[in-house]
Amino acid sequence: CGIRLPWLAITLLGGVVTSTLLNLYSKHFSSIVILAAFIPNVMAMGGNTGIQSSVLLVREIAAGPTRRHAMGKLFLHEVRTGALMGLICGIGIYIWSLCLMRMSPPTHMVCSPWYLASVIALSLFCAMSFAAGFGAIVPIALDRCKIDPAVASGPFISVVNDISALLIYYAISFMLILRILG
């Protein structure tokens, strides 16, 4: 309990930051509610991608020093894999968001459904790509700092990936939507 609780406290603090960000930016999404509907998808996919990358690196670290020479290659592999998965999932969420907007059209459309779907897909791609790289680098950094990556990686990655996915989503949404409105 003593070794895991501090990392869970960090996770809780990350949840507080995430809920604060959601609250602060929710008013900006009131005119484009469809974007708010995809926030959980972007956060969950980023978080899961980061955890998967982390688990693979932790497994390599646990295998011992003989396998640590390949960490750089494995890191690059995880970044490429994360980008590829982000591309595939981005295409999937693009198609789904268009279907959702067709089934239940927003009452007030600021821009075209194609454009909104692109914002959602690009956000998912970026969040998953970032999360894969971050999830791969954290266990390596923790191991070098003599902190057990098996205990610390998950909570730390969850917090940072949730916050970064949300910030990526908001940044892309605002940049692309404000470009249309401005």
Indicate whether 153 pLDDT > 90: no
pTM given for the model: 0.85
From the list 38, 36, 134, the residue with the least C-alpha distance to 83 is 134
Specify which of 16-20, 64-68, 156-160 reaches the highest per-range mean pLDDT. 156-160
From the list 133, 124, 120, 125, the residue with the least C-alpha distance to 160 is 133
| Residues 97 and 38 sit within 8 Å (Cβ to Cβ) | yes
- Mean pLDDT over 90-97 rounds to 95
